Amino acid sequence: KPKAEDGHALDYVNNGADSTHEKYQEGNKCSNCAFWAGEESGGWGGCRHPQFSSVLVNAEGWCNTYVPGG
Ligand code: SF4
């Protein structure tokens, strides 16, 4: 799968620390999100949310559907 680009969907960014979204909280990132499906390689992995089914997301990434618990 290709790597997601910033803005792929749901205000996604590859580095959550770059986000200025009102819902973003420091420390929130794909690798500790409930939708994270695990790393595939080099810090990129799957996301179970349907909006990201066609791409890999970055472990340090973030989107506005973040749910703690990954
Ligand atoms: Fe990352 Fe979670 Fe958003 Fe998927 S749902 S892109 S794992 S923050």
For 33-40, what is the mean pLDDT?
Answer: 98
Phi–psi pair at 31, nearest 5 degrees? -70, -10
**Is the confidence at residue 30, as pLDDT, over 80?**
yes
State whether CATH 4.10.490.10 applies to domain 1-70: yes
Q: Is 29 in the pocket of ligand 1 (CB under 6 A)?
A: no
Q: Compute CA distances 27 → 1, 53, 65, 66, whole Å.
A: 26, 24, 15, 11
**Is the confidence at residue 34, as pLDDT, over 70?**
yes
Indicate the domain borders of the chain: 1-70
**Is the confidence at residue 70, as pLDDT, over 80?**
no
What's the CA-to-centroid distance between 62 and ligand 1, angstroms? 6
Show the 3-state SS of the chain.
Answer: CCECCCCCCCCCECCHHHCCCCCCCCCCCHHHECCEEEEEECCEEEECCHHHCCCEEECCCECCCCCECC
Q: What percent of the chain has pLDDT over 90?
A: 99
Q: Is 4 in the pocket of ligand 1 (CB under 6 A)?
A: no
